[in-house]
Amino acid sequence: MEGIIKGVVISVNTSLLKGEKKSPVEKADIVSCLGIEGDAHAGPGDRQISLLAWESIEKMREKGYDAKNGDFAENLTIKGILLWELKPGDELKVGSKVVLKITRIGKICHQRCNIYYQVGDCVMPREGVFAEVIKGGVVKPGDRVELINNDDKHIAV
C-alpha cells in the first residue's frame, strides 16, 4: 500500500503513580475512551495515552542523557514516525486493532523535570504527543504503527 506511513512500537510503558517514569511492560490492554488499563494517566479527556518518538529520545541521548524507554512518562515509544510533525486529528493504527486520534502535540510543563535539570533540556514539552483511544485492543513491542490519514512527510529519515 503506497503512501502509508509506517513505524513500530519499540516499548509499551506504564506506571501506577503520576509524576514518575514509566516502566516497560510485555503488553498492555488499551481501552477505548480511557487509555492503558492500570496506568496512572488513564482516564477520560484528550490525554488518554502519550507517545514519544524514539527519534526524540535519541536527541536527548546525543545531549548526554542516558535516556531509556519510559523515562519521559510516555506510554508508547514509537520508531519510524516523526510524531511531533503530526497534527491534531491525525489517526494512528497500532497493531491489528488499536486506533488513536492525536489530540495534542507537546505539553506545558509547570515545573522543570529532573531530565531538564540534568541536561538543560527535555523533548516532551515540544515533541510528546497525546491521543484519545478511538478503538482499543492489546499492544506490544514490535507492533506496526501506521498513520492512516495523512501524507508521507512524517517518515523518519
- Tell me the three cell numbers of residue 156: 523518519
Q: Does a structural domain hold residue 130? A: no
Alpha-carbon torsion angle 51, 42, 94, 137, nearest 10: 170
Tell me the per-residue pLDDT of 99-129, one tens digit each, with 9 for 90 and over. 999 998 765 554 544 444 444 445 665 688 9
In DSSP notation, 136-150 reads -EEE-TT-EEEE-SS
Asked if residue 76 lies in contact with residue 9, where contact means CB atoms within 8 angstroms, the answer is yes
Q: Which residue range forms the structural domain that includes residue 140?
A: 5-124+135-150
The predicted model scores a pTM of: 0.84
Q: Does a structural domain hold residue 129? A: no
Q: Does a structural domain hold residue 118? A: yes
Tell me the per-residue pLDDT of 82-92, one tens digit each, with 9 for 90 and over. 998 999 999 99
Residue 18's pLDDT band, with cuts at 50, 70 and 90, is confident
Question: The domain that contains 59 carries what CATH number?
Answer: 2.40.33.20
Q: Does a structural domain hold residue 50? A: yes
Q: Does a structural domain hold residue 117? A: yes
Q: Which pLDDT score, from 0 to 100, does residue 60 have? A: 76
As for how many domains the chain has, the answer is 1
Q: Does a structural domain hold residue 156? A: no
